[in-house]
Amino acid sequence: MTVRKYFRQGRASPFEYTWPAGRGIPGWVLQHKVPYGTSDAAHDPVMQHDLPINVDVRSIICTPILSSFGEVLGYFDIRNKQDAEGFTVADQDMLMALAPAASIAIQNALAYQQRLSAETELQESYERLRALAANLEVVREEERTQIARELHDQLGQALTAMKFDLAWLTNRIVDKDEALGQRAKAVTTQMDTMIKTVRRIATELRPGMLDDLGLAASIEWLAHDFEKRTGIICLTTVTVPDVPLPRAPSLTLFRILQEALTNVARHANAQLIEVRLDATPETVTLQVHDDGRGIQAGEAAGLHSLGLLGMRERAQRLGGTFDIRGVPGDGTIVTVIIPVKSN
């Protein structure tokens, strides 16, 4: 049993001491789990007379504070009863009556401490997991970029070069054999399709246009492409056409828009989507408003939608906010605000 503080008239003083079972009066109480008192402390054999705290003690009473499981959690130790020889049975009863409340207080405090450290541990795991999730997306974007680059550099460029070789060959073949030349032309056409396919796969993997054309144009392209594929009309309003953004927030907004549009196509039953991109010197705001059935508050809480959670995580990673709310009869509005570091 270790004591770290000693309370004297309601004020705590530091007092570091560990009582082994059987050592001193608290040690005796720890061992026997019943009160111990004396009116002649100076001659008491249990008392540790070498402890500075025990100097000038005449009378003393010490009662255990027991836990619900009967273990000693602490003790009351009262000294030098004023205007009396020593402590009475009534004093002892009073202290014992105090013990249960003190016991509950101590047990609660211990439980609180355990909770606190459990929570701290959980919080650390949470932060690590969050970093992992962020990293998974970074790695995925890197992988996409790498594949897109391989496709472009190793396939796209080689295919283009081959196409020119073929075209050159075809011209010469046509001169010699019209029919054979037509066959060669057909292969060249196939080659064109090939090049387009490579370009499409690469673009889907990594919107290179973000670097080339900027966010506004990329968003317009995405909306147009979405409209073409789903038949849902997708209007874009860009109030600041040339938002100069670094790659990270651009990509985040682009991916969130992709996910938001996918969600609309899957769940909203919408006919029209309005996409707005607004910017101030401090923030960029993306808003996606569809005219579908309107997300329910429960769904929006995102307990079950990993897509929503992913969008929120992406926004928060850049210090931004993500909000989704549904209005029955007025569809769903997704709002993402990303802070922009001013130079």
327 touches a second copy (CB under 8 A): no
Which span sits near a second copy by CB under 8 A: 44-52, 79-87, 127-135, 316-324?
127-135
Nearest distance in Å: CB 258, a second copy: 12
Q: Which two tokens stand for residue 190?
A: 């196939």
What is 25-66 written as a DSSP string? Answer: HHHHHHHH-S-EEES-GGG-SSS-TTSGGGTT---EEEEEEE
List the one residue from 52, 132, 212, 228 that touches a second copy (CB under 8 A).
132
Which span sits near a second copy by CB under 8 A: 46-54, 108-116, 211-219, 291-299?
108-116
Find, among 87, 96, 37, 28, the residue nearest to 62 by Cα. 37
The contact pattern for a second copy, residues 159-198, with x = CB under 8 A and - = no contact, is: x-xx--xx-xx--xx--xx--x--xx-xx--xx-xx--xx
How long, in residues, is the chain? Answer: 343
98 touches a second copy (CB under 8 A): yes
Give 201-206's long-range contacts (Cβ < 8 A, gap of 24+).
Answer: 201/148, 201/151, 202/147, 202/148, 202/151, 202/152, 202/156, 203/148, 205/144, 205/145, 205/147, 205/148, 205/151, 206/141, 206/144, 206/145, 206/148
247/92 Cα distance (integer angstroms): 74
Q: Which two tokens stand for residue 326?
A: 């549904």
The interface with a second copy within residues 55-94 (CB under 8 A) comprises 94
The interface with a second copy within residues 144-163 (CB under 8 A) comprises 147, 150-151, 154-155, 158-159, 161-162
Q: Phi and psi (nearest 5°) for 151?
A: -60, -45
List the one residue from 68, 108, 237, 296 that touches a second copy (CB under 8 A).
108
Binding site for a second copy (CB under 8 A): 94, 97-98, 101-102, 104-105, 108-109, 111-112, 115-116, 118-119, 122-126, 128-133, 135-137, 140, 143, 147, 150-151, 154-155, 158-159, 161-162, 165-166, 168-169, 172-173, 176-177, 180, 183-184, 186-187, 190-191, 193-194, 197-198, 201, 205, 302-303, 306, 309-310, 313
